[in-house]
Amino acid sequence: MYKDTTKRQSSMVAKQIAKADIHLLRVFCVVAEAEGFSNAQVVLNVATSTISRQISELETRLGMRLCDRGRTGFRLTDNGTTVYQAAQKLFGALGEFQETVDGSRGRLFGHLSLGIIENWASNKSAPIVRALSEFMSKAPDVTIEMHSLAPNDIEFAVLDDKVSIGIGVFHSPKPGLIYTDVCKEMVRLYCGADHPLFDLDDPAKVEAALHRSLFAKRAYLNEDVVAPKTRDFPSNATAHQMEANALLILTGKYVGYLPSYFAEEWVADGRMKNIANGGYDRVVTVQTAIRRGVRPNNVSKTFLEIFASETKAFSTV
C-alpha cells in the first residue's frame, strides 16, 4: 500500500510544471512562431544545435513529438499545435498573476503588444506617439512590443493573441473582435507628376482621363466596397503595403489612394497631386480592436484609456 501511494505521488510530481519546462516551452513557442530552428536562432541568439537539443528535451519530458523537421521543412504536429496553444494560455496566466501581484503594490507590470497601422509615424501629429510617451512615463516597468501591419494582418494578430490591441482602419469587421472608434483621417486619390492627369484641371477631361488610368489596388482592402467610385477603373497592379502603393503612384503610371498625411511631402515637392480637386476624397475612421470575450488586463486598460484621451483632439480631416 505504501509503495503504491509513493509511486502515485512520484508520478504526480513528475507531471508538475517545473521552471525548466517553462523555459523549454518559451523556446518552443519562439520556434513555432518563427516556423523553424534557423529563424528562431536569430530571436533566441543561440545555435540551432542548442535549440534542437532543447526541443528534443521538451518532447522527452512531455512524451510526444511536437514538430517535424528535416528536408521536407518545419511543421508542427497536431500535438505540437495543442501544446503551443496551451503554452500561450499558460504564459498569459503567468503574466496576469505577476500583474495582479505587482498591481497590489501600486505599480503596473507586464507586457503590452500593439499592432498598429503601417507608416503612422509619418503623421507628424499622430496620437500614438503622445499616447506611448505618456504610457511609458506611467508604466516604466512594462515591456512593449510593436508591430506595423496592414489592417487584415492587425485583426488576425489580435484574434490569434499575437498582439493585445490593434489600431488601424478596418473595413471588414470580424465577429471575434470589438472595435472602438478613436479618430478620423482623410484618404485621397493621387497621381504622380509624370501622369497625364497631373496637368489637367478641366473636370470633364479629368473624369475622362481617370477612367482610362490604371488604378493601383490595395491588397489589404476590398476596393469595390471601400472605394466604389474607382470600381470600374482598369488595374494591373496590386500593393500590399501603403509605401508600395506610393511607389506605384510616383511612377506616373498609376492613380491610387493614400492617407493625406502620408502623401503631403510628395505633394509639397510637386511629385504628387490630389486628383479632381478632392472629388474622390474619403473620410476613414481609425479604430482600436480587441478580442471579444477577453477582459483587458490592467496594462492594456491603462494604455487604452491614455490613447482614448490623446485621440479626442486628433483629426486630419
Whole-number Å distance between alpha carbons of 48 and 27: 11
Give pLDDT, residue 20. 76
CATH number of the 185-284 domain: 3.40.190.290
Class of the domain covering 2-90: mainly alpha
Q: 108-184+287-311 belongs to which homologous superfamily?
A: Periplasmic binding protein-like II (3.40.190.10)
Alpha-carbon Rg for the chain in angstroms: 25
Interstrand relation of 214-218 and 254-259 (parallel, antiparallel or unpaired): parallel
Distances (CA, A) of 102 to 84, 95, 165, 198, 252: 27, 10, 22, 59, 56
Q: Domains of the chain: which residue ranges?
A: 2-90, 108-184+287-311, 185-284
pLDDT score for 18 = 72
pLDDT attached to residue 132 = 94
Give the model's pLDDT for residue 8.
38
Query: Same topology for domains 2-90 and 108-184+287-311, yes or no?
Result: no
The reported pLDDT for the residue numbered 223 is 79
Distance CA 16, CA 12 (A): 7
pLDDT computed for residue 99 by the predictor: 62
- Which helix (H) or strand (E) is 302 found in, with range? helix 298-311
List the pLDDT tens digit at each of the 317 positions of the chain.
334 443 433 333 345 677 778 889 989 988 888 888 888 887 788 888 889 999 999 999 889 999 988 777 888 999 999 999 888 888 777 766 666 655 555 577 788 999 998 888 888 777 899 999 999 999 998 999 999 988 889 998 998 888 999 999 998 888 889 999 998 889 999 999 999 999 998 888 998 898 899 999 988 777 777 788 888 889 999 998 899 999 999 999 999 999 999 999 999 999 999 998 888 999 989 999 998 887 888 889 999 999 998 887 655 55
pTM: 0.67
Annotate 189-207 with b (16+ C-beta within 10 A) or e (fewer). Answer: bbbbeebebbebeeeeeee
Q: How far does Cα 3 stand from its chain's mean position?
A: 54
